[in-house]
């Protein structure tokens, strides 16, 4: 989690994820929308704007979690 409340995720590979796609987590459902793609082409980072603010405990729980883009 960033200070502004966005989530920063790492892509598992070089697949291009367009901005605006939905991001979900199997346990809690919809997490947010990809706002920005940045970083190395081989494994880019995704900045995700969450649908609602996450608590610090939720942020810690997401470390290492698998999420899906739709």
- List all residues 6 or more positions away from 56 whose beta carbon is below 8 Å from its beta carbon: 1
Beta bridge partners of 32: 23, 50
Q: Higher model confidence: residue 8 or residue 60? A: 8
What's residue 56's pLDDT?
Answer: 76
Q: Tell me the domains of the chain and their CATH numbers.
A: 1-54 (2.40.10.230)
The CA-based dihedral angle spanning residues 4, 9, 14, 20, taken in that order and rounded to the nearest 10 degrees: -60
What's residue 16's pLDDT?
Answer: 79
pLDDT tens digits for range 5-55: 888 888 878 887 889 988 887 777 767 899 999 999 899 999 999 888 777
């Amino acid at each position: 989690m960033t200070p502004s409340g966005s989530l920063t995720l790492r892509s598992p590979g070089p697949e291009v994820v367009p901005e605006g796609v939905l991001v979900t987590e199997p346990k809690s459902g919809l997490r947010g929308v990809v706002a920005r793609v940045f970083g190395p082409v081989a494994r880019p980072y995704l900045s995700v704007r969450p649908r609602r603010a996450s608590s610090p405990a939720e942020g810690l729980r997401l470390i290492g979690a698998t999420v899906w883009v739709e």
